[in-house]
Amino acid sequence: MSNVLPENPLSYNNPQAIITDAWKVLDTNYTGVYHMPHCDHYKGLFGWDSPMHAIGTRHDRPAQAAMELTHLFRGQWRDGMIPNIQFPARGELLHGLLNASGLLARGNAPRGIRTSGITQPPLEAEAVWLVGKKLGTEDRRSFWGKTVPWLVRYHEWLYAARCEKKDGIIEIVHPWESGMDNTPPIIEYMRTLTWGKTADIVRSMEKVITHSRKDLRHVDDGERSSAEEAALQTIAMVSIMRNRYDARRLQENHPLHVADIGFNSIFARANTVLELLAEEIGLVLADDLKDSMHKTRQNFSSLRDPRTGLYFSRDRKGELIPISTIASLLPLYSGALSVQDTKTLANHLANPKSFWRPYGVPTVPVDSPFFDEKRYWSGGVWGNMEWMLTTGLARSGCNELAEGMRKTILSTNPAFYEYHSARTGEGYGVRPFSWSASVRLDLAHRPNDTSWRD
Ligand code: GLC
């Protein structure tokens, strides 16, 4: 599939035009209840996509944004886990079946909805907070009153199921849980792990896997995970399913446990917002949860590399994986950094040789041996990441950088591709993609606002 350059350039100075175009995209991908990330390629409801959609749509249609979030929580498991995918009521049979979480998780998965059995970065609290603030007093009270306990259960689950070291830092068990499916640090780490017999079986089926890959139906294979990366993702998924999505079994039998820096940055921010929300509705958080949240803040800097000041993901042995990606900068969004660390990371971000490129911030710095500008999360510019950096910078008082980013975001990717090149602006992946629109919708609605105060 060829990639076309913008036929309809966005204008930073014309936010109204951006708002109109973004809504066309969101309406195209709307099911009547939630926004699909893309109407052919991704028909399900995704765990960190829907919060991003709600953040954009809340300005004009707050009730619709609240409904999308409420729908997201319908997929929550009994133990509190929020799945990365809720499959649509009809269709997606093969993928629903392959996940088969309802059968394997024995009563833990919700009835009547097909969901995956793994999670995604916890952006829900941020969205619940921002959407609630756009609702009228009564609606807000009822929305927060209903959703905040669900958020609490999710955060409690993360600490109970995914914090093996009890240090407040969350470990994920699949690269899809990072949301950055083929991000180099996790893929490189996976290559070093022992996966047992399953791996040989999956590898011998590489051709079959490639044939059944839904993600290659709509885009060029150079824009998706490579065959080897997809095999690793499948191997990890089979291992999780063999362990019936059970936290204890996973800790005993599953080799991949990685403290992903992106996930933990989003989680640290989500904890802060959850505390604000609890205060708003007069909910007293359990002491255990408060202790865990305290540990997350206290130990966040254990993910910092003292040599470079960048933050990295940590492997199960406790070693940092020193491969820099945009997630190394996401602590700027966490709210957990000292002034000095913020400055160091902001300097890394502003470096034109690595991250600060004419068409945006790439997911892997352009001077990295892992940079591959077209290949999915190995180098493209993704709107959700840029939104988190922009708002995080603004919250930390780095207003000039935040405004620079806002300007770039509103001047790029006018056709709302899934992601685009940091070097040329060329769009990649599927289009029109919902969060590429909702991020721009949000920023276009806040023309002179760089404070983003809570
Ligand atoms: C891809 C992305 C993931 C996203 C999903 C739906 O799998 O890697 O982050 O949630 O698509 O848009």
- Ligand 1 atom with the smallest distance to the CA of 435 is 12
The residue-averaged pLDDT of 194-218 equals: 78
The larger pLDDT score, comparing residue 69 to residue 213, is at 69
Q: Considering the chain, what percentage of its residues have pLDDT values greater than 70?
A: 95
Please tell me if the CB atom of residue 418 comes closer than 6 angstroms to any atom of ligand 1.
Answer: no
Q: How far apart are CA 60 and CA 264, in angstroms?
A: 31
Q: How far apart are CA 218 and CA 359, in angstroms?
A: 24
Distance 371 CA to ligand 1 centre (A): 19
Alpha-carbon distances of 110 from 103, 343, 354, rounded to whole Å:
11, 44, 44
**CA 88 to chain centroid:** 20
In this prediction, residue 395 carries a pLDDT of 95
Whether the predicted pLDDT of 3 surpasses 80: no
Distance 312 CA to ligand 1 centre (A): 21
- Dump pLDDT digits (tens) for 342-400: 999 999 999 999 999 999 999 999 999 999 999 999 999 999 999 999 999 999 999 99
- The mean-pLDDT minimum among 132-136, 216-220, 386-390, 410-414 falls in 216-220
Distance 46 CA to ligand 1 centre (A): 7
| Coil, strand or helix at 62 | helix
Distance 207 CA to ligand 1 centre (A): 23
The residue-averaged pLDDT of 320-334 equals: 98
pTM as predicted = 0.95
List CB contacts of 216: < 8 A, sequence separation 6 or more. 210, 224
List CB contacts of 192: < 8 A, sequence separation 6 or more. none
Ligand 1 binding pocket mutation candidate from 25, 38, 42 (most atoms within 8 A of CB): 42
Distance 17 CA to ligand 1 centre (A): 27
- The mean-pLDDT minimum among 83-87, 110-114, 315-319 falls in 110-114
Place of tokens 């039998």: 253
Closest residue (by CA) to atom 2 of ligand 1? 179
Residue 178's pLDDT band (boundaries 50, 70, 90)?
very high
- Ligand 1 atom with the smallest distance to the CA of 37 is 12
- Ligand 1 atom with the smallest distance to the CA of 47 is 10
Please tell me if the CB atom of residue 179 comes closer than 6 angstroms to any atom of ligand 1.
Answer: yes
Q: How far apart are CA 355 and CA 191, in angstroms?
A: 26
| Coil, strand or helix at 253 | helix
Place of tokens 């079946």: 97
84, two tokens: 């990365």
In this prediction, residue 396 carries a pLDDT of 95
Ligand 1 binding pocket mutation candidate from 181, 224, 416 (most atoms within 8 A of CB): 181
Residue 4's pLDDT band (boundaries 50, 70, 90)?
very low
Distance 139 CA to ligand 1 centre (A): 31
Please tell me if the CB atom of residue 37 comes closer than 6 angstroms to any atom of ligand 1.
Answer: yes
- Ligand 1 atom with the smallest distance to the CA of 179 is 9
Whether the predicted pLDDT of 27 surpasses 50: yes
Q: How far apart are CA 184 and CA 378, in angstroms?
A: 7
Ligand 1 binding pocket mutation candidate from 46, 92, 225, 435 (most atoms within 8 A of CB): 46
In this prediction, residue 223 carries a pLDDT of 86
Closest residue (by CA) to atom 5 of ligand 1? 46
Residue 214's pLDDT band (boundaries 50, 70, 90)?
confident
Whether the predicted pLDDT of 133 surpasses 90: yes
In this prediction, residue 99 carries a pLDDT of 64
Please tell me if the CB atom of residue 181 comes closer than 6 angstroms to any atom of ligand 1.
Answer: yes
Please tell me if the CB atom of residue 365 comes closer than 6 angstroms to any atom of ligand 1.
Answer: no
Please tell me if the CB atom of residue 49 comes closer than 6 angstroms to any atom of ligand 1.
Answer: yes
Whether the predicted pLDDT of 24 surpasses 80: yes
Closest residue (by CA) to atom 9 of ligand 1? 179
- Dump pLDDT digits (tens) for 85-106: 999 877 766 676 666 677 888 8
- Ligand 1 atom with the smallest distance to the CA of 180 is 8
Distance 375 CA to ligand 1 centre (A): 14
Of 245, 243, 213, 240, give the one whose Cα is nearest residue 229: 213
- Ligand 1 atom with the smallest distance to the CA of 84 is 10
Distance 179 CA to ligand 1 centre (A): 6
Paired sense of beta strands 45-46 and 419-420, if any:
unpaired
Distance 338 CA to ligand 1 centre (A): 31
- Ligand 1 atom with the smallest distance to the CA of 42 is 6
Closest residue (by CA) to atom 3 of ligand 1? 179
- Ligand 1 atom with the smallest distance to the CA of 38 is 12
Main-chain dihedrals φ then ψ at residue 448, nearest 5 degrees:
-115, 20
Closest residue (by CA) to atom 4 of ligand 1? 179
Of 308, 357, 360, give the one whose Cα is nearest residue 331: 308
